[in-house]
């Protein structure tokens, strides 16, 4: 998931996705009344703990902004924002969650640094009567009454294949896939989503698939070689920030900017610049603001009105040179509580 | 006493470098010289043969391989690995090893990028800074090895971890972007139509080759790697020289990191994870011995290109990355096995 950390903002544009996401994320419709809150509602001020995978990254700062925005709009809600310094500090996060349970906060909204190691921490909170909502990354197993607000990578990548098909138009086209970290969950979801999406377009032929190992140099190298081996290559889907940047540089160095359509993922400053320069046709951008916002908003409604919390796809936005300056995309790329990118 | 020197003393005298122990007569000296140079020629011949065979095979297998663009691409792709493999070779000759090259290259690259972005340094000033960062890391490695007497594996293992941590601290684990186009000079620029990265690699290789084979310092480097205790007794300032090797190697790693950053026009915190494996493999395939005292820059360059060809060819032929790693592993085994086999035969005859 570390590539996601660097990601900025995103916003769903396809309403249909909510339904898909609920299925993909194992969302539930029925709240288990034995869970936190015992089915009762809480009046008065609420204190919520919101815990990212790690503090200090832009991605998580945006999650924080979303959480605080939801708290502000709900009124009388305090967000306790605290996290470990490194995503690898799994034990530190277990302790942190435990401490919040001990403090008897009203609810915990957090992103698990490790899906297995944090499962007992979630269960412990529920057992102590503290409801839990997960953002970005859930636990395994994840109790039924605990929702997950996260990006549906599979759906986003499938849509990237559609974007590529749209950009290339009629006729047969050779395309390539630059994945990042073979074996990682996020990578697998994006690769499978993209290849499933491609299968809907018989005129697109996947001729090469190589990993960047989340290293721009490696991404550039494999893309250069893919371009060499496939002089007719028409399109590339690069599945995370370093992959996109390396692919764009390789295409530019080969003098084929514009001839080879690049669909990317994430929205690092150089990716936005590449989009404006015409090196990149479109970017799939996640919405960390919405993760924080949904987590807190749904938790507050659950606590105050007893509404069951349901998992939801926080969605992705497809940023193109045409829409990059639109209000809607700006809200995703530079989110603020004045114009929160969370319309539902 | 260095912990490594104990085992070194039992090494056969054949590995002792020419000029360190006075042979009894001109005939002995000639034989020693011949054996020395034949041994290098053998390992370089083995690696070069593999390189040529692979080159021909790829030319036949892919119509796109033997094109000027692809060959320049391979040259540029190999540049950073070759520069850093030269550094690794110097350290391996001293019977050391440097596991920290990837972390130090990343550190130098992100610092070089940051001083350009935030302090307005020119690309040349940033290169000097990056080389300085590498040299400073090398100095720490060198002091840990030569003065604190940690085994090189441990000293540089620590630097591998600490260096990567520093990279993440400095960058907040986010790439350093928004650099001016001039930053791309080292990695993407050209001189007379030849990629600048290739020119830098050639200069580094020639200078390092000259230093190792022609200078007194170079002689000392081989002598220390062959038998540290003997080198000390022969009056070589072992501690100072060993530290100097690590500093010099660190400086080259810093330069390599800057070229890598320049090539992608950004400072990448994830750069160089696993790089140490590639450069150690390049040196070993080229005939450098992890037992010290042996290795030449020419061989290392051949090794670096061999690995680059495998990677390039794999993508051209659409071979999965996991197989690429297996292939590189097989080549390391084969190269070292044939090398040792032929040397044994040579020594049996000599």
- Give per-residue pLDDT as tens, B195-245: 999 999 999 999 999 999 999 999 999 999 999 999 999 999 999 999 999
A194/A165 Cα distance (integer angstroms):
12
* The pLDDT of residue B156 is above 90: yes
- The answer to whether B303 touches B281, Cβ cutoff 8 Å, is yes
Q: Are residues A275 and A296 in the same domain?
A: no
What gap in Å lies between CA B148 and CA A99, rounded to an integer?
A: 42
In this structure, the answer to whether residues A134 and A250 fall within a common structural domain is no
Query: Within the 23-62 window of chain A, which residues sit less than 8 Å (CB to CB) from chain B?
Result: 56-58
Cα torsion B311, A280, A1, A62 to 10°: value is 150
Residues 6+ apart with CB under 8 A from B194: B72
How many alpha carbons lie under 13 Å from residue B36 in its C-beta half-sphere?
20
* Structure confidence by residue, pLDDT tens digits, B13-47: 444 444 444 546 777 777 777 776 776 777 788 88
**Per-residue DSSP letters for B124-171?**
HHHHHHHHHHHHHHHHHHHHHHHTS---HHHHHHHHHHHHHHHHHHHH
Tell me the pLDDT tens digit for each residue of A103-119. 999 999 999 988 888 99
Q: Residue B219 corresponds to which tokens in the numbers above?
A: 């002689």
Q: What is the pLDDT of residue B350?
A: 57
Residue A315 lies in a domain: no
Indicate the average pLDDT of chain A.
86
pLDDT band at B162 (very low <50, low <70, confident <90, very high): very high
C-alpha closest to that of A164 among A282, A252, A65? A282
Residue A198 sits in the same domain as residue A292: no
Question: Do residues A202 and A53 share a domain?
Answer: no
Over range B313-338, report the average pLDDT: 85
- The angle at the Cα of A135, spanning A191 to A324, to the nearest 5 degrees, equals 65
| Inter-chain CB proximity B173 and A6 less than 8 Å | yes
The model's pLDDT over B69-117, given as tens digits with 9 standing for 90+, comes to 899 989 999 999 999 999 999 999 999 999 999 999 999 999 999 999 9
Where do the domains of chain B lie? 25-349
Quote the number of domains for chain A: 2
Is the distance from CB of A211 to CB of B274 less than 8 angstroms?
A: no
Cβ neighbours of A269 in B, within 8 Å: 177-178
Of residues A5 and A166, the one with the higher pLDDT is: A166
Q: Which of A210, A213, A217 sits opposite B260 (nearest CB)?
A: A217
In a domain, A9, yes or no: no
A277, A302: one domain: no
pLDDT tens digits, A159-204: 999 999 999 999 999 999 999 988 777 889 999 999 999 999 999 9
Model pLDDT, residue B43:
74
pLDDT of residue A17: 43
Asked whether residue A303 falls in the same domain as residue A269, the answer is no
- What number is the average pLDDT over the span A199-212? 95
Chain-chain contact of B273 with A253 (C-beta, under 8 angstroms): no
CA of B313 vs chain A CAs: smallest distance (Å): 8
Q: Averaged over A10-35, what is the pLDDT?
A: 40
Of A57, A242, A269, the CB nearest to B270: A242
CA angle A219, A172, A283 (to 5 degrees): 40
Residue B7 DSSP SS3: helix
Residue B155 CA to residue B99 CA, distance in Å, equals 9
Give mean pLDDT, residues B261-287: 91
Residues A137 and A231 in one domain: no
Q: If pLDDT is split at 50, 70 and 90, which confidence band does A225 have?
A: very high
Give the span between the Cα atoms of A175 and A196, in whole angstroms. Answer: 14
Identify whether residues A250 and A201 lie together within a single domain: yes
For residue A4, the chain B residues in CB contact (below 8 A) are none
What's the mean per-residue pLDDT of chain B?
A: 88
pLDDT of residue A343: 64
A160 shares its domain with A140:
no
A277 and A158 both lie in a single domain:
yes
Nearest to A224 among B73, B271, B321 (CB): B73
**Token pair belonging to B15:** 């590995």
Chain B hits for A213, CB-CB cut-off 8 Å, are: 270, 273-274
Q: Is residue A182 part of a domain?
A: yes
Distance, CA of B230 to CA of B227 (rounded, Å): 5
Residues A138 and A57 in one domain: yes
**Range B21-29, long-range pairs (CB < 8 A, 24+ positions):** B21/B230
- A69: domain CATH number is 3.40.50.2300
The CATH number of B25-349, from 1.10.4160, 1.10.405, 1.10.3470, 3.30.70, is 1.10.3470
For B5, counting Cβ atoms within 10 Å of its Cβ (0-12 exposed, 13-18 middle, 19+ buried), the class is middle
pTM of the model: 0.78
Which residues does chain A have within 8 Å of residue B266's beta carbon, measured at their own beta carbons? 216, 245, 270
Name which of B257, B314, B308 is nearest B71 in CA terms: B308
Is residue A220 included in any domain, yes or no?
A: yes
Mean pLDDT of B124-151: 98
Q: How confident is the model at residue B332 (pLDDT cuts 50, 70, 90)?
A: confident
pLDDT at A33: 40
Domain ranges, residue A201: 153-286
In a domain, A18, yes or no: no
Segment among A67-81, B37-51, B150-164, B212-226 with least mean pLDDT: B37-51
Question: In this complex, which of B69, B172, B268 lies closest to A242 when CB atoms are compared?
Answer: B268
Most A CBs within 10 A among B58, B110, B268, hence the mutation to make, goes to B268
Q: Shortest Cα distance from B167 to chain A (angstroms)?
A: 13
Q: What is the ipTM of this complex?
A: 0.79
- Mean local confidence (pLDDT), B39-67: 87
- Write down the pLDDT at residue A133: 97
The rounded distance, in Å, linking the Cα atoms of A97 and A109 is 10
**What is the rounded average pLDDT of the residues A47-58?**
86
Percent of chain A with pLDDT over 70: 87
Q: Kind of pairing, strands A107-110 and A233-238? A: unpaired
Q: Is the per-residue pLDDT at A90 higher than 70? A: yes
Q: A174-185, pLDDT tens digit by residue?
A: 999 999 988 777
Same domain, A61 and A161: no
What is the arithmetic mean of pLDDT over A292-313?
95
- Is the pLDDT at A138 greater than 50? The verdict is yes
Q: Return d(Cα A252, Cα B265) in angstroms, integer.
A: 13
Cβ distance B315 to A220 less than 8 Å, yes or no, reads: no
């Amino acid at each position: 998931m570390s590539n996601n950390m660097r990601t900025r903002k995103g916003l769903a544009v396809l309403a249909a996705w909510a339904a898909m996401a609920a299925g993909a994320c194992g969302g539930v419709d029925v709240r288990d009344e034995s869970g936190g809150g015992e089915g009762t509602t809480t009046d008065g001020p609420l204190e919520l703990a919101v815990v990212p995978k790690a503090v200090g990254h832009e991605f998580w700062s945006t999650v924080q902004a979303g959480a605080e925005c939801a708290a502000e709009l709900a009124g009388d809600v305090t967000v306790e924002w605290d996290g470990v310094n490194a995503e690898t500090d799994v034990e530190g996060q277990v302790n942190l969650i435990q401490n919040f349970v001990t403090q008897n906060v009203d609810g915990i909204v957090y992103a698990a640094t490790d899906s297995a190691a944090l499962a007992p921490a979630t269960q412990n909170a529920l057992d102590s009567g503290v409801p839990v909502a997960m953002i970005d990354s859930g636990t395994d197993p994840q109790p039924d009454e605990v929702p997950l607000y996260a990006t549906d990578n599979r759906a986003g990548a499938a849509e990237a294949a559609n974007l590529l098909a749209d950009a290339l138009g009629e006729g047969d086209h050779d395309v390539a896939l630059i994945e990042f970290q073979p074996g990682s969950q996020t990578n697998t979801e994006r690769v499978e989503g993209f290849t499933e999406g491609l299968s809907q377009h018989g005129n697109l032929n996947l001729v090469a698939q190589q990993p960047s190992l989340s290293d721009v140099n490696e991404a550039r190298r494999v893309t250069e070689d893919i371009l060499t081996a496939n002089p007719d290559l028409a399109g590339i889907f690069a599945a995370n920030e370093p992959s996109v940047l390396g692919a764009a540089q390789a295409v530019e160095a080969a003098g084929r900017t514009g001839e080879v359509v690049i669909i990317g993922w994430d929205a690092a400053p150089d990716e936005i610049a590449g989009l404006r320069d015409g090196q990149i046709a479109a970017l799939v951008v996640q919405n960390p603001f919405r993760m924080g916002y949904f987590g807190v908003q749904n938790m507050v409604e659950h606590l105050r009105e007893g509404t069951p919390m349901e998992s939801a796809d926080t969605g992705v936005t497809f940023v193109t040179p045409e829409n990059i300056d639109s209000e809607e995309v700006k809200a995703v790329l530079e989110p603020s509580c004045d114009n929160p990118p969370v319309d539902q | 006493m260095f912990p490594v020197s104990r085992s070194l003393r039992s090494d056969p005298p054949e590995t002792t470098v020419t000029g360190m122990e006075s042979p009894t007569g001109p005939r002995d000296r000639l034989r020693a010289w011949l054996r020395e140079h034949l041994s290098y020629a053998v390992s370089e011949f083995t690696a070069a043969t593999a390189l040529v065979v692979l080159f021909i095979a790829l030319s036949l297998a892919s119509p796109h391989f033997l094109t000027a663009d692809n060959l320049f691409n391979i040259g540029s792709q190999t540049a950073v690995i070759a520069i850093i493999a030269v550094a690794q070779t110097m350290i391996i000759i001293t019977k050391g090893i440097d596991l920290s090259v990837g972390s130090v290259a990343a550190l130098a690259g992100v610092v070089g990028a940051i001083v350009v972005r935030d302090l307005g340094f020119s690309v040349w000033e940033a290169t000097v800074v990056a080389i300085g960062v590498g040299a400073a890391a090398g100095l720490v490695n060198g002091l840990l090895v030569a003065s604190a007497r940690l085994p090189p594996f441990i000293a540089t293992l620590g630097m591998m971890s600490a260096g990567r941590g520093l990279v993440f601290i400095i960058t907040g684990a986010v790439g350093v972007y928004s650099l001016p186009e001039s930053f791309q000079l080292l990695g993407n620029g050209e001189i007379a139509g030849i990629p600048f990265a290739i020119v830098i690699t050639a200069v580094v290789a020639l200078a390092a080759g000259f230093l190792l084979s022609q200078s007194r310092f170079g002689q000392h480097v081989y002598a220390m790697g062959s038998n540290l205790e003997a080198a000390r007794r022969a009056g070589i300032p072992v501690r100072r020289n060993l530290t100097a090797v690590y500093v010099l190697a660190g400086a080259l790693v810093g330069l390599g990191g800057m070229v890598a950053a320049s090539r992608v026009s950004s400072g990448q915190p994830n750069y160089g994870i696993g790089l140490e494996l590639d450069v150690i493999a390049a040196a070993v395939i080229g005939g450098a011995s992890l037992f010290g005292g042996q290795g030449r820059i020419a061989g290392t360059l051949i090794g670096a290109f061999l690995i680059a060809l495998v990677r390039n060819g794999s993508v051209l032929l659409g071979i999965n990355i996991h197989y690429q790693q297996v292939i590189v592993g097989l080549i390391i085994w084969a190269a070292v096995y044939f090398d040792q086999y032929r040397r044994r035969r040579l020594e049996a005859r000599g």
